[in-house]
Structure 1
């Protein structure tokens, strides 16, 4: 294979010109119409000129109708380019002649979203926990903010914002911003936003500059419970108490993160527990983390997802990748900080255990989900040519990114040396988008006297596909019992022809185990059986002993279901179908649909296609699109 080539930075996922004329602040008004599934709005962008003589402001849009465009209050010439399949349509607005770097302008316009806006999911009352009121939520990462309003939809472009959102009573609006106290003004200000009876306006302010993918809105029958001095959990009344119990450790996570990365800078940290169709485990929207109800395990065992989203308050939201090719800078460092948080609270062995589990996930992604030659297994993949960043999404930026950071930590002398560097890195780049090369330069400058850094093969780490060039070693003592049990079941069915299981196997094998240990057991067994799946009878024996079919923990269910599907154990299929219908989290949907569709069982393949046909409109548009790709139905879903 040819040596990987370093690439010059270029933003491939945005058609805006933020490096020439940057939107630095946006005042947004939104009117939410549940009858038409349309967000109508008006936005006033404050624009700072970056280069002398710039003649236009270019913004990203996707299926957004634009009207009444003005520059400094005067009607402005504007044009909308033909849509690109992945990137949408470039909106070009003519600016006054003779502009100089440092000049500021006000560019305003009305807009209206499509009912099929890719960032927005509209839920009917029957899709909610309470069954009485409609609900909507947005998901703008990676490049979906452009389907809500014209903006510079790149992580390299940051802006502050205020917002006023009109919703039907008695619903509540929440945003990725600090809610403002009611001031008695219950109408939108712009003349085009006509008043509607039976509505209420909610107001917000985000004083920290954010990239567009962190713009977020949710509207529903919502109430809150306090978690700590700056934190609440929000949800429908039917789920809010469960959320308050599950996320009770939020303040401990915040304190641990601040000790590692510096003071929390966002004012409030609230959590919104969403309906089941939310496509991710969590989304780190500033001031208001979105989380999935699949975290409601009842024993706080999945709260590490909240630790991950809290970590994003520093790595991602403050220190941001400049483009989606450098996404590992967000997620690799966030996984690192998440595991450091859990290490602080649960001991260093927990950090090591989670790291070893992450390595298994990385191997599975490289060797089974993709391939060692797949370009999307590079830490900094090439997204030129109009690639949709969603198509490149996998565990690679998370786990390969973490593996690189852990490797660097051990190379320079361990946590004692690396943690002060990490805090300095966060403080230095707070508010500043950066690239992989920016990180490299800062790292080498900080550790300029460390001879060991000369051994780092930067280009291979950044640009080569496949597994990392260095294999880390981790303390696996917390997972040892799980791994040993996996080996026993593996050797009891070496030929894949079935057996009665390991000699002496009993329910006591996993008595007292945490859900994390059970997942470690199942994932290790899946790794050992990658080439020769288990016999279906072995899966039935395991369920008989360990009661795995009826587990409610979502992580256990997903790992167990995949093991059974790969074994051709059709007895599990009704439970798989039930799981695919009750939630829309891509972490579970995509591997299960892929396993079903790739099964030798005709019943499993049939179940995949039939279930997706029934559920596709209930999933978030992003999840529906990606599952369609997995099932090779992309052309059918690109309507």
Structure 2
């Protein structure tokens, strides 16, 4: 049945309003020696208009060798001109056919795929993972690479027998004897949520419907770290309805993974940087789990609407945290989020601080980082405060039910918000300053404020230190990770080197295994020039930037370091060594920061 039309997507050449893919079936061989996948993609089609005879897919340097109909007959096809960002349109003359088979292989340069050498992994065996958000799925599968187009899929994947394959689908928990694996994803997902990983992996159960995969030396520590996963799922369900994806498992990837986490359905991909050893960073799991509703269940229609994924998810994440860990803990997260937002507003161009973005003609990976997340969440907090939590929760639960497995654009959401929530509550656009939030720069003056007694105590100690107090006399007993991050962020950039040396000696910031604390400290050391005062800090900086590939955090450190001529030279020196180990997403980000090459 033909449903509502697809919204024009500036980042896809596909034409799903004519012929749309409804199911994909992959049959692929993983070739580590040549760094490529090869095989077939069988696509089930829906003709949405009577005269539609062409299927248009997005590809990026895929080697398409043949396209055939279901009965094996050759179909005419053309690969269009290559664009560095958008790739090439693959136009297939399908006639009235409702199934086609694309024979293809990926390029070793496929930007979604990172092939890791044995020395880059904990197990000493090769590893492969894909990262398709926002528009990189086309670099490893032929697809209609728009978040508005959803498909069910299945796959058969063959890998070296000493390795295990996993996908964002129904997964095995044990290695197969012959290296052949079959997968099924019965719920429709957009292409950016189709994911593959291959490595030396083991599984540990976390609960009746949750578990963790990781390399053998990592998996037990990860299972301990993620002990609250099942409780998070239950808290999320109490808030906004049933979890609709069957299982929720987590895959801990090697350090080069460019994000904190990726919400691939049924199998969140996670960075090892959240394994702090004290469960202090597992709110990231709450975030990726929340995407099972906001993003995976109801998906932004284009990347201009990404706040509908990420802003909702940050809001939902903090609600899960509040359920499990209490209000004071959540207040700290909200305050740190506001700090990140204020920094982003200062750093971004004004147009990039709107909620509804305009990324046409740009790589969506080049869009603003924290604006959709933190400004979007703050806007939802404002709505909650205006209409009341009970009414807002009822609205959100109904929203996820009403638009489940569909896409959403900003205009449609705002119309729904008005008719289903604001007007019945007697709230006008002017009451919320709605236009200023969605189609205006910065943060409107009616933004909620969040008090935190825990942070007030930190500020008191920073004031003591700034006034010349002794570091040894500071009252830091019982501080948690978020308080330490706030402490480091609150230290003045022009603090005397002796003061910075004293706090580092006392609290071990340069050697911190907590990536949030380490990042804040190295940002301060880079911006202040303190890194050049202490060889040990410089070594910690180099180790951090060569060991981690998480784009947001290494970007912050590189940016602060690159603020001076001397710092930029050092940044480029470190990057020359570190760059080959980074995923293409991180490479693209840091290339711009340091002016590489």
Does the 8 Å CA contact 2:334/2:450 hold for their aligned counterparts? yes
Task: State the partner residue of 2:139.
Answer: 147
Task: State the partner residue of 1:575.
Answer: 540
Task: State the partner residue of 2:34.
Answer: 36
Superposition pairs for residues 61-76 of structure 1, below 5 Å? Answer: 61-73=59-71, 74-76=73-75
Structure 2, unpaired ranges of 5+? 1-5
TM-fit CA distance, 1:483: 2.7
Task: State the partner residue of 2:283.
Answer: 304
TM-fit CA distance, 1:579: 0.6
Does the 8 Å CA contact 2:559/2:593 hold for their aligned counterparts? yes
Does the 8 Å CA contact 1:121/1:137 hold for their aligned counterparts? yes
Deviates more, 1:173-182 or 1:230-239: 173-182
Whether 1:218 and 2:193 are equivalent positions in the alignment is: no
TM-fit CA distance, 1:565: 1.4
Task: State the partner residue of 1:79.
Answer: 78
Per the normalisation by structure 1, the TM-score is: 0.88
Whether 1:370 and 2:332 are equivalent positions in the alignment is: no
Q: Secondary structure at the match of 2:581?
A: coil
Task: State the partner residue of 1:324.
Answer: 303
Task: State the partner residue of 2:557.
Answer: 592
Per the normalisation by structure 2, the TM-score is: 0.94
Q: How many residues are treated as equivalent by the alignment?
A: 585
Task: State the partner residue of 1:15.
Answer: 13
TM-fit CA distance, 1:487: 3.8
Q: Secondary structure at the match of 2:397?
A: helix
Whether 1:126 and 2:106 are equivalent positions in the alignment is: no
TM-fit CA distance, 1:95: 2.6
TM-fit CA distance, 1:449: 2.2
Task: State the partner residue of 2:234.
Answer: 255
Whether 1:27 and 2:25 are equivalent positions in the alignment is: yes
**CA pair 26-555 structure 1, distance change in 2 beyond 3 A:** same
Does the 8 Å CA contact 1:536/1:564 hold for their aligned counterparts? no
TM-fit CA distance, 1:271: 0.6
- CA deviation profile, 1:40-67 (whole Å, cap 9, x unmatched): 0201101111223123111000010112
TM-fit CA distance, 1:539: 1.3
**CA pair 488-361 structure 1, distance change in 2 beyond 3 A:** farther
Does the 8 Å CA contact 1:533/1:566 hold for their aligned counterparts? no
Superposition pairs for residues 232-381 of structure 1, below 5 Å? Answer: 232-367=211-346, 369-371=347-349, 373=350, 375-381=351-357
Does the 8 Å CA contact 1:156/1:321 hold for their aligned counterparts? yes
2:435 aligned to which of 453, 459, 464: 459
**CA pair 25-469 structure 1, distance change in 2 beyond 3 A:** farther
TM-fit CA distance, 1:267: 0.9
Equivalents in 1 of 2:473, 2:112: separation in Å? Answer: 46
Q: Secondary structure at the match of 1:616?
A: helix
Does the 8 Å CA contact 1:167/1:201 hold for their aligned counterparts? yes
CA RMSD of aligned residues (A): 1.9
Whether 1:542 and 2:491 are equivalent positions in the alignment is: no
Task: State the partner residue of 2:572.
Answer: 609
TM-fit CA distance, 1:350: 2.6
**CA pair 43-182 structure 1, distance change in 2 beyond 3 A:** farther
**CA pair 181-234 structure 1, distance change in 2 beyond 3 A:** closer
Task: State the partner residue of 2:450.
Answer: 474
Task: State the partner residue of 2:479.
Answer: 513
TM-fit CA distance, 1:567: 1.4
Task: State the partner residue of 1:193.
Answer: none
Task: State the partner residue of 1:194.
Answer: none
**CA pair 411-608 structure 1, distance change in 2 beyond 3 A:** same
